Structure 1
Amino acid sequence: MRFHILVIALFCCGSAESRKVRGISSSYKRFYREKKSFLCIDGSKLIPFEQVNDDYCDCADGSDEPGTSACPRGRFYCTNLGFRPHYIPSSRVNDGICDCCDASDEYNSHVRCQNTCWNLGQRERAFVEGQMRTLDEGLRLKQQLIEEGVLLWREKQAQLRELQQVAEDLQIKLEEHRRKKHEADRFKEQTLRALKGEDSAVKPENTLLNRNKDESIAPDEVKAEVVPVHGEERRLSDDEAGIKDAHGAPGTMSSEDPHLKAADRVAEWEATNLKKVEEAYETVNMEISDLQKKLDIDYGTDWEFLFLNGQCYKLTVYEYLYTLCPFSHITQKSTAGTEVSLGVWGMWAEPAKNRYNQMIYENGEPCWQGGSRSTTVTLTCGTETALRSVKEPSKCQYIMDFQTPVACQPVLKQRGVHSEL
């Protein structure tokens, strides 16, 4: 008789123990120590301990039924030894579907589940190890790109200083050529007045071409004139002075007059030189402006993203070819050849955790019956730099996955596989 009583007692204790621990994580076991009463974890109610896991919901927070589906707000804890533990809604307990890889959620159903935790754990461990290898290689490549970025930044800064010095030199030359052109124009004007004999107030020593007593201008005087050319002073040649024996008498107003032709040639020469210097000065200033705009972009704390400037990356998705040119623009080209802008470089998105995680490209081509197209580019860690995917989750709003080593971030500890493994 005593033997039977002992067996029954052990069976009852085993049942109570199973109700006590099923569906509970190790951190919550202290609340389920067998005693006379059980206090709901939210403190709302005190019930007899035998009502825990009795398939009837007594606590509002569902804490008295961690191992059954009685409470609508209840949660069942899958231990999943060898894989990742996790919670499932208690409504899935004994529903005929295996939700826990250790099959603990189907302890009282007709389904016989296989324990797959070890296989799943092996696969996940291999995946995590692969990710860590990728991260290590990505960080190594990132360091190289940081070093290249620093050198490239210094090179761009030196280039800017050189261009600024060239601009200063051209500014000096520009003023000099403007002065020379002014003198050439004045030389031409004085020559014209001398030929006309209209300005008696103009003294011979003040004209670039002195007149003879009969108010004519001798050809030798035209040849003898000293004019500034290429920063040096020299005398006009016969051809430049336009001296030919076949020309009319001195003092005539013909357009073929050698003296007037000489003055025209000098003025034209200086005008040409001035135009060349002005064009060179404008070109250099445009290069300075473009370079300053590039240097004003935020390329990361160590200029690690600088190498992306001037590069473009392509990806074909169905009938479209997408082109991402970081810090510049994004386009979409159809097989028919039509190309549309999906946005131009705007800014970093600046999420809370990582400032250099997302790029925003705005003000693309207008969308039919909508606003302008725009694209968000998410940067992910990888051992190569490539455009990985393009999606359009909402009308004319695109998202891209862009992989690059400079997006790799060091981690303090390995994530993914639980310590219980």
Structure 2
Amino acid sequence: MRFYVFIASVFCCAFADSRKIRGISSSYKRFYRERKSFLCIDGSKLIPFEQVNDDYCDCEDGSDEPGTSACPRGRFYCTNLGFRPHYIPSSRVNDGICDCCDASDEYNSHIRCQKTCWNLGQRERAYVEGQMRTLDEGLRLKQQLIEEGVLLWREKQAQLRELQQKAEDLHLKVEEHKKRKHQADQHKEQTLKTLQAGGAGSRQHNNTASGLFQFLDNNKDGSITVDEVQARVVTIHDEKRLLSENEAVALLGGGRQMDLTMFRHTLWDTLTKGDNVKIRDTNAALDSPVVEDPLLMAADRAAKWEATNLKKVEEAYETVNMEISDLQQKLAIDYGTDWEFLFLNSQCYKLQVYEYTYTLCPFNQVTQENTAGTQVSLGTWGMWAGEPKNQYSQMVYENGEPCWQGGSRTATVTLTCGTETALRSVKEPSKCQYIMDFQTPVACQPVLKQRGIHSEL
């Protein structure tokens, strides 16, 4: 009698173990409370409860066979105590391959699975803790960069105001120098007209004689010598023949040189009468009294001086306006809600990938350079292109150099949280379309709730 009782108890225990509802999460256990019937979770069919986990698929959604591989659409829930729980396709249940780290998917298999959930959980917890430490440090550095960005923004605004004030001052100077140059030009023109108009009187005579004397005085030493007379005075009958030394001495009144006073009373009359000799270069001789007149020369120097000053002031004004335009363009860029990305402006970051060197200059351009030194533009700054919740998580650089198959190169830069600012990776998933990972503390975002790995699962 005791033998039959023992057999019955073993049979009952074995049956109960085989009917154990496996592969369900705690939130679904309410559907599998043992009763006379079982309603498929999708509500499509009502079956006797003994058909649950009988290795035959009755429900279209596979809910009657959570612990077997009978249903093609079924899912098996790995509890994975100490690690992350997850679902696997029910086709993997008892297939001889360990998919759940707690070995629950191979409960009726010929292999013995090692339970690795605790080790996996430890590694993941260590990884998450490391990430949280990185996040904390990144947020601390980000706050510093925000403070620096605010100060830098204020400095740029102050610099812009100073440049604008300087531009206003230079504009006034430009107008003033224009007026002075105009006056100097008018004075020069009036002086020239007066000389050209000519007039009686000894002053005009003396000025004309003085001009011709300066024309003959080649070395400008205040006297005319024999050599200078021979160089510029010729006979009327034979202009090609050089005067002899004796002829030149005779023109100089028998001496070797002559000053301006003697010239006015002697050689000047001889040259202006034009009976026997004349100046070799007639046009120059006629022009020289006017061009080399002291009053005209002074007016000309004044006009040139004012023109030079005007040019300098205009160049300074143009330079300041260019600086203003450049600064205004930089300040018009979106540097984040707290100007946290402002420090990236005017910075460049490089990364060597095989034979190429990639350079990212935020808010400017992205380039690629090979070992031969040939540089190619992968795009210039376009816009922020992150998701609406975090628009500052991605940059787009567009309109790079054309590809040989057509179209322009573009680069998409994804910003990730890190304690350092550096270009981490560059890939080209499709022709001339580049993606980059750029790490920086300002990409770190505070986490309201961190879902960690719970050991009690």
The runs of 5 or more residues in structure 1 that have no matched partner are 199-210, 220-241
Equivalence map 1:332-371=2 (5 Å): 332-371=368-407
Secondary structure at the aligned position of 2:330 is classed as helix
Q: In the alignment, what sits opposite 2:433?
A: 397
Kindly indicate whether the alpha-carbon contact (under 8 Å) linking 1:361 and 1:375 is maintained by their aligned counterparts in 2: yes
Secondary structure at the aligned position of 2:98 is classed as coil
Q: In the alignment, what sits opposite 1:156?
A: 156
Q: In the alignment, what sits opposite 1:373?
A: 409
| Counterparts of 2:24 and 2:205, CA distance in 1 | 117
Deviations 1:319-343 (A, max 9, x none): 1111111111111111121110111
Equivalence map 1:88-167=2 (5 Å): 88-167=88-167
Equivalence map 1:232-311=2 (5 Å): 246=260, 253-311=289-347
Shift of 1:246: 4.7
Question: Radius of gyration: which is bigger?
Answer: 2
Deviations 1:337-356 (A, max 9, x none): 11101111100003132110
Kindly indicate whether the alpha-carbon contact (under 8 Å) linking 1:341 and 1:365 is maintained by their aligned counterparts in 2: yes
TM-score normalised by length of structure 2:
0.80
Secondary structure at the aligned position of 2:392 is classed as coil
Secondary structure at the aligned position of 2:54 is classed as coil
The 3 A distance-change label for structure 1 pair 168 and 212 is: farther
Shift of 1:252: 7.7
Please tell me the residue identity of whatever aligns with 1:278: E
Q: In the alignment, what sits opposite 2:77?
A: 77
Kindly indicate whether the alpha-carbon contact (under 8 Å) linking 1:197 and 1:215 is maintained by their aligned counterparts in 2: no
TM-score normalised by length of structure 1:
0.86
Deviations 1:365-403 (A, max 9, x none): 111112111100000000010110010011100000000
Shift of 1:261: 1.1
Kindly indicate whether the alpha-carbon contact (under 8 Å) linking 2:150 and 2:338 is maintained by their aligned counterparts in 1: yes
Structure 2 residue corresponding to 1:14, chosen from 10, 17, 21: 17
Kindly indicate whether the alpha-carbon contact (under 8 Å) linking 2:82 and 2:455 is maintained by their aligned counterparts in 1: no
| Counterparts of 2:205 and 2:93, CA distance in 1 | 118
Shift of 1:271: 0.5
| Counterparts of 1:367 and 1:217, CA distance in 2 | 78
Q: In the alignment, what sits opposite 1:204?
A: none
Please tell me the residue identity of whatever aligns with 1:328: N
| Counterparts of 1:413 and 1:393, CA distance in 2 | 34
Deviations 1:127-162 (A, max 9, x none): 000000000000000000000000000000000000
Higher relative helix content: 2
The runs of 5 or more residues in structure 2 that have no matched partner are 208-219, 223-258, 269-286
Kindly indicate whether the alpha-carbon contact (under 8 Å) linking 1:381 and 1:405 is maintained by their aligned counterparts in 2: yes
Shift of 1:15: 2.8
Kindly indicate whether the alpha-carbon contact (under 8 Å) linking 2:82 and 2:453 is maintained by their aligned counterparts in 1: no
Please tell me the residue identity of whatever aligns with 1:272: T
Secondary structure at the aligned position of 1:356 is classed as helix
The 3 A distance-change label for structure 1 pair 416 and 368 is: farther
Secondary structure at the aligned position of 1:301 is classed as coil
Equivalence map 1:199-218=2 (5 Å): 216=204
Kindly indicate whether the alpha-carbon contact (under 8 Å) linking 1:347 and 1:361 is maintained by their aligned counterparts in 2: yes
| Counterparts of 2:188 and 2:365, CA distance in 1 | 53
Which deviates further from its counterpart, 135-144 or 409-418?
409-418
Q: In the alignment, what sits opposite 1:224?
A: none
Q: Report the number of matched residues.
A: 383
Which structure has more relative contact order (CA 8 Å, sep 6+)? It is 2
Kindly indicate whether the alpha-carbon contact (under 8 Å) linking 1:212 and 1:218 is maintained by their aligned counterparts in 2: no
Shift of 1:213: 6.5
Please tell me the residue identity of whatever aligns with 1:394: S
The 3 A distance-change label for structure 1 pair 297 and 269 is: same
| Counterparts of 1:158 and 1:15, CA distance in 2 | 80
| Counterparts of 1:128 and 1:403, CA distance in 2 | 18
Shift of 1:283: 0.3
Please tell me the residue identity of whatever aligns with 1:193: K
Please tell me the residue identity of whatever aligns with 1:183: Q
Kindly indicate whether the alpha-carbon contact (under 8 Å) linking 1:195 and 1:252 is maintained by their aligned counterparts in 2: no
| Counterparts of 1:61 and 1:336, CA distance in 2 | 62
What do you get for the CA RMSD once the two structures are aligned?
2.3
| Counterparts of 2:383 and 2:450, CA distance in 1 | 31
Q: In the alignment, what sits opposite 1:172?
A: 172
